[in-house]
Structure 1
Amino acid sequence: MVPVVIGSMLALMPEAGAADNWNVDGANGVLHVRGALTESACRLEMTSAYQDVWLGETGTARLAQIGAQGTPVAVRLRLQDCLRTPANNRDERNGNLLGSAHQPAVSLSFVAPADADNPQLIAVRGASGVALRMVDQLGRDIRLGSRGAPLMLAVGQDQLDYVVKLERTRAPLQAGAYSAHVDFRLNYD
């Protein structure tokens, strides 16, 4: 029985030696894994990322005068994972600084073709003599192509509200279906 045990041990010895092949070129490597844990800004809830907003039907009689407006329709952008983070946002239009040590802030950028007669309005395709006016929750016009005024978010606040409405422009009024495409981006400083 002793010769069988010794033979078995000798048979296992080369495998034990082969398990330690650290010095063999091309057989080993090292991973250095690093990272950082940061407080995250709010992120846009996916149901808000792509929205189809229906303004309904508006009669031309309601928009007979330049500046006349159709029925306002609410647009809600939902946020999630808003944490208590310091904010330091500068308003690009007036230079004012909005800051807080414990309250997050966000500004939105809206990008769309501007109306030829009024650059504050969003141009539409289709019907003529009308464009879209979009305002924030405080009634301020959005700023096409640049950041809007910073908005403070209360901890737990998970939405930003805007209103879109049809508005008569100087161009000749011609009825028809219309549409517009507006891109937007959340900005944190």
Structure 2
Amino acid sequence: MYPDKHKEIVTSLMEGKFITVEDLSYETIKKNEDFYITFFEKSFGFELIGNQDFYYLVSTDTNENTSRDISIFFSVLCYELDKDGKNFLEELNYSEFHIDEIIEYFKNSSWTDVIKVNKQLNNDENLKRLIGTMAKRNIAVKQGNDRYSFTKAHKLFIDFVKDLIKDDKDETTI
């Protein structure tokens, strides 16, 4: 006998989606965490990772670049929000962004060399597609009228970038 919403949970996680605390499935996973950790490890060789905000799967056998591109997206967006005098963490947690606002930040960014070489960020249509991918993975939520907000899953990418910066600073002090 599987927990409630088992098929929905497995399908969502296998499609690369984050299950956030706002999702009813989150509680099912939380209550059955040991079962799901074992289930994904034995069935697929994937690691289920969770915290107080979300769950997601990790595999060592992947060569996808979308996670990297999402991390770069958040790096550039946070930098531009900060440059604009906004608290980027508050903005990501509590604000909605119109797609045109995001595109403007990227068009006017001082990180043009990084944006130009990244196929998912280098033009308006690709940027829109990446945001659509983030919505499919439950990292962003379309609010209507081309407005998006970000789920708590954005924290994974922000933390990843912070770790990279910290590692880079540690290496330069050696």
Higher-Rg member (1/2): 1
Which structure features the higher share of strand residues? 1
Instruction: Please indicate, yes or no, whether the TM-score normalized by the shorter chain is above 0.5.
Output: no
Interval containing the TM-score (normalised by the shorter chain)? under 0.3
Could you state the TM-score of these two structures normalised by the residue count of structure 2? 0.20
Which structure features the higher share of helix residues? 2
